Amino acid sequence: MILSLDALHALLPMHLLLDPDGTIVSAGRTIRKIIGPARWIGDCLTIERPVCRDLRDGWPRMLAGCRILLRPLSAPEVPLRGQATAMSGGLLLNLGFGIALVDAIRRFSLTDADFVPSDLAMEFLFLHEANRAVMTELARANNRLEEAREAAQTLALTDPLTGLLNRRGFESCLDEAVRQAAIHPFALAHMDLDHFKQVNDRLGHQAGDDVLQQVAQILRVETRSSDRVARMGGDEFLILLSGNGSPDDLQLLGRRIIHRISATVEIDNLCCGVSASLGFARSSDYPSPCAETMLADADAALYAVKVSGRGDASLHERPGVRA
Amino acid sequence: MQGMINRWLEGFLRTSYGDAFWNEALVAARLANSDFLTLSTDRKGAARRILLTAARKLEKPLDEMLEDLGAWLVQRESLRRLLRFSGPDFAEFVQSLDELPGRARLVLLDMPLISLTVERTGAQEYRIGSEEMPLGWIWVLAGGLRGMADDYGALAVIAVSDKWIDLSIVVEEFALSRPFLLMPQPEVAP
């Protein structure tokens, strides 16, 4: 039994029926969109597989069912792959686009009518587009999650009033600094405001908050991007200063900060008499620095300043000697 | 998948009724502080709550709201295109509705197992039903079918009951079909 040409056209829109000399006896309607009205294979297609000199040379292998790859002369970027079998003394090939389907559709403006229901072309296109849509959706969701996570992270480490680090945030920076102290020495400053309680008592908490925000801003301005500033609660601040500042440098910085605070912090455009005291500790003063010790020593230096009249900055001397 | 549904809900309510409405609905549904969009499971029935709240605020019956949602969904270019792959005309689209859940499962691995049945009840009449569809989704489907009939340019009469949809195609080519190329033009985002 032979397949009639009508049957071929109905079932196989991508078929080619060839004579041994290359004449195109029949071509499916979709193939025709690619090869145009060509009557002879040499006018429209090159045979890439099987590797052969010409059709006659490749004929026996194609008859035997080897894989065939043809390239249209008009569109070499859209290869046609398939296989062949003998029919009516000629060669019947059935071809497909493989993953070049998308390119083929674009290049030749193919529509639904160019494929038969048994072809998986529509399913392929559906999957292709759906996949991209889902990927985009996932990327969007991931970005949102990442943003939310970062926001939550920042929130957990930030003092809401001043925007400086909070205790938790500072402690993690300090731990890291201690770990790297040998290569990257640093200094720790503990600062308390002087006469802050009076502001709160006389002018209220709103005024107090205002002062704290101004102080925070001064600290931001007076420190570098590699430094870290935290508000520990109340009117207590901690500063992590990167680098191996000399005792003189640190005292200079401390006094500058104090001066800025006492000179510029105002409420209702009036200087309110708030000042500050600072105590420092330097990592290079310790053979093996440790967070608790440095914090205690900076605190001790601060205490010494307060006891001796406030409004000054002092470096803790002789670490390790202190009980 | 829930995140996607929530995103659609938000998109639908925002574009149909405005940002202010959406924010008020979130507050009324006690969802204002959650990240509604990234909920990966329907915790505390958030999606349901927001829909009920919105319907109450608008004084619309819930099924009408769900139908509107369905119609809005199929207007989104990405979804509309995926649905158009099911058939070159509206009749074929309707007939292949039973394959739709299968297609969706090819891409949405966590999609619940829902089946759609399509029964031919006349020359151009169909009864579409589903046993496992969650409550209310039948209305979304109905709205979607209305939207797709428009898209294909067909005139159809759609009647919904609790369990199924009765659809009859009155005129197949009533208006021009919205354009649909198998391949979108290169610069268009999905």
pLDDT tens track for A64-90: 999 999 999 999 999 999 999 999 899
Contacts B103 to A, Cβ<8 Å: 123, 126, 130
Write the DSSP symbol of residue B132: S
Mean pLDDT of A17-34: 96
The confidence band for B156, taking pLDDT boundaries of 50, 70 and 90, is very high
Closest A-chain CA to B92: A117
Are A271 and A254 a contacting pair, CB within 8 Å? Answer: no
Between A200-204, A301-305, B53-57, B165-169, the lowest mean confidence (pLDDT) is in A200-204
Across the interface, do A144 and B78 touch by the CB < 8 Å criterion? no
Instruction: Test B183 with A106 for CB contact under 8 angstroms.
Output: yes
Q: Is the pLDDT score of A190 beyond 50?
A: yes
Q: Write the pLDDT tens digit of every residue in A101-154.
A: 999 999 999 999 999 989 999 999 999 999 888 888 788 878 888 888 888 888
* Cβ contact A136–B190 (<8 Å): yes
Give all strands of the β-sheet with B117-120 in edge-to-edge order: B117-120, B125-129, B164-171, B155-160
CA distance B190 to chain A (A): 6
Which of these, A45, A44, A87, A47, lies nearest to A66 by C-alpha position?
Answer: A47
Single-letter code of the amino acid located at B167: L
Q: Which string of b and e fits B32-66 if b means at least 16 CB within 10 Å?
A: eeeebbbbeeeeeebbbbbbbbbbeebeeebbebb
Segment B102-118 mean pLDDT: 86
- Mean pLDDT, range B116-134, rounded to an integer: 92
**Is A201 one of the annotated active-site residues of the chain?**
no
- pLDDT at position B120 is 95
Q: Does the N-terminal peptide bond of residue A50 adopt cis geometry, omega within 30 degrees of 0?
A: yes
Residues β-bridged to residue A85: A92
- Residues of chain A with C-beta less than 8 angstroms from the C-beta of B183: 102, 105-106, 125
What are A191's strand-pairing partners?
A237, A278
- The Cα–Cα gap between A273 and B12 comes to 57
Six token digits for residue B29: 């549904």
Question: CB contact, 8 Å: B4 with chain A?
Answer: yes
Phi then psi for residue A299, to 5 deg, are -65, -40
Contact list in A for residue B4 (CB cut-off 8 A) is 137, 141
Catalytic residue (choose from A114, A192, A194, A235): A235
Phi, psi dihedral angles at A80 (to 5 degrees)? -115, 125
The pLDDT value given to residue A314: 80
Instruction: State whether the Cα torsion A22-A27-A30-A32 is positive or negative.
Output: positive
Q: In what order do the strands lie in the sheet with A275-282?
A: A228-233, A236-242, A186-194, A275-282, A313-315
Is residue B47 predicted with pLDDT exceeding 80?
A: yes
Q: Would you call A111 an interface residue with chain B, using a CB distance cutoff of 8 Å?
A: yes
**pLDDT band at B41; cut points 50, 70, 90:** low
Average pLDDT over residues B36-57: 76
In this predicted structure, what is the pLDDT of residue B151? Answer: 96
Which secondary structure element, helix H or strand E, spans residue A194, and what is its range?
A: strand A186-194
Per-position DSSP letters for A26-40, written without gaps between them: EE-HHHHHHHTT-SB
Judge whether residue A319 has pLDDT over 90: no
pLDDT of residue A320: 44
- Which pLDDT score, from 0 to 100, does residue A323 have? 32
User: Stretch A34-50: mean pLDDT, rounded?
Assistant: 96
Of A20-24, A277-281, B87-91, B134-138, the poorest mean pLDDT is in: B134-138
For A37-63, b/e burial (b = at least 16 CB within 10 A) is ebeebeebbebebbeeeebeebbebbe
Q: pLDDT > 90: what percent of chain B?
A: 57
CA distances from A303 to A28, A46, A299, A306, B163 (A): 95, 91, 6, 5, 79
Segment B55-65 shows an average pLDDT of 92
With CB atoms and an 8 Å threshold, state whether A105 touches B37: no
Residues of B in contact with A145 (CB under 8 A): 38
Please say if the pLDDT value at position A92 is more than 60. yes
Pick from A112, A129, A148: CB nearest B190: A129
Answer whether A110 sits within 8 Å of B88, measured CB to CB: no
Distance from CA of A111 to the nearest CA of B (A): 6
A105 touches chain B (CB under 8 A): yes
Tell me the C-alpha distance between B89 and B95, whole Å.
10
Residue window 152-181, chain A: list those with CB within 8 Å of chain B: none
* Neighbour-count burial of B132, counting CB atoms closer than 10 A to its CB (0-12 exposed, 13-18 middle, 19+ buried): exposed
Residues of chain B with Cβ-Cβ distance to A109 below 8 Å are 181
Q: In a mutagenesis test of the B interface, which of A108, A126, A135 is the best target, namely the one with the most B β-carbons within 10 Å?
A: A126
Backbone angles phi, psi at A227, to 5 degrees: -90, 165
